[in-house]
Amino acid sequence: MPEIETNGITLSYEDTGGSGRPVVLIHGWPLSGASWSEQAPALTSAGYRVISYDRRGFGASEKPETGYDYDTFAADLDGLLTGLDVSDATLVGFSMGGGEVARYLSTYGEDRVRSAVLAAAVPPYLLKSDDNPDGGLPEEGIHDFEQSVTTDREGFLDGFVTNFFTAGDELKVTEEQRQEALELAKPARDEAVLLCINAFGRTDFREDLTKITVPVLVLHGDSDGVVPFEASGERSVAALSNASVHVVKGGPHGFNVSHSEEFNEALVGFLG
């Protein structure tokens, strides 16, 4: 994979090149850019230039001890877009990657961006609190994630990836696909896995969303047990000034794999 220096670190990325409009894919936790394997070919065949990258600490990217917060993630993304001179782009953020989309656009503006997609994404604010009673994850839930990753990373991630692809009580992918996701998580640094839980669980994106004016597609599964639509996607639609929504019936959190055909049709339709 090619590499690029950005914000003081090295990120690994993939870029299909070509003259098509760029689509930048930002992966979820605790995976890597390879988790977009069901989307990249569909986007390429539709004529788009596809750029994906491994977040700091994950995949083949550099794995520093620190910098696992959304201001830093957004700065990393800005360095990537600047370094590759990307313009007229659509940013697609899956799960925690939706946080990069929101924080990047609110911090660095929309000059390089044509539109955005929040797919099963964590905004506007996951933490359930007195200030955010409709949040999807209570403080004790976040704390349990952190404790479990610290004491039994392998066991916790095995269960998490199962939930990732489960709607109700039914696993919506093959065991081979579930194992592939577990493999993508293996290269991640322990500190990255741990500290990103704090980032996606406790970062408030409500103010970020108010600053976004480009068209945004909110794409979500209605059976997402990790980032529930009612706590995230539905509230993001209400907060954004220029949003449309596509809800995938029976879609779990990892619906870009389990329902890849419908996911890709909705994505390409929005891009067109």
259 flagged as catalytic: no
Write down the catalytic residue from 52, 61, 95, 258: 95
**Amino acid, single-letter form, for residue 211:** K
- Whether 224 is catalytic is yes
Is position 253 annotated as part of the catalytic site?
A: yes
**Contact (CB, 8 A) for 204 and 99:** no
How many C-alpha atoms does 252 have within 13 Å on its Cβ side? Answer: 18
15, 54, 76, 224: the active-site residue: 224
Sign of the CA dihedral with 129 first, then 220, 94, and 90 last? negative
- The alpha carbon of residue 52 and the mean position of all alpha carbons in its chain are separated, in whole angstroms, by 11
SS3 label, residue 266: helix
Task: Please give the DSSP secondary-structure letter assigned to residue 54.
Answer: P
Spell out the residues 6+ positions from residue 185 whose beta carbon is closer than 8 angstroms to its own: 30, 31, 157, 161, 193
Rounded Cα–Cα distance for residues 160 and 112 (Å): 35
- CA dihedral (189, 191, 193, 198) in degrees, to 10, reads -160
Where are the extended beta strands (E) located within 29-160? 49-53, 89-94, 113-119, 127-128, 137-138
Residue 5: which residues within 8 A CB-CB, separation 6 or more? 79, 83
Question: Which of these is catalytic: 27, 220, 246, 253?
Answer: 253
Q: Hey, how many other C-beta atoms are within 10 angstroms of the C-beta on 263?
A: 24
User: What one-letter code names the amino acid at 239?
Assistant: A
Helical H runs in 152-259? 153-164, 175-185, 190-202, 206-210, 233-239, 255-258
Catalytic residues: 95, 224, 253
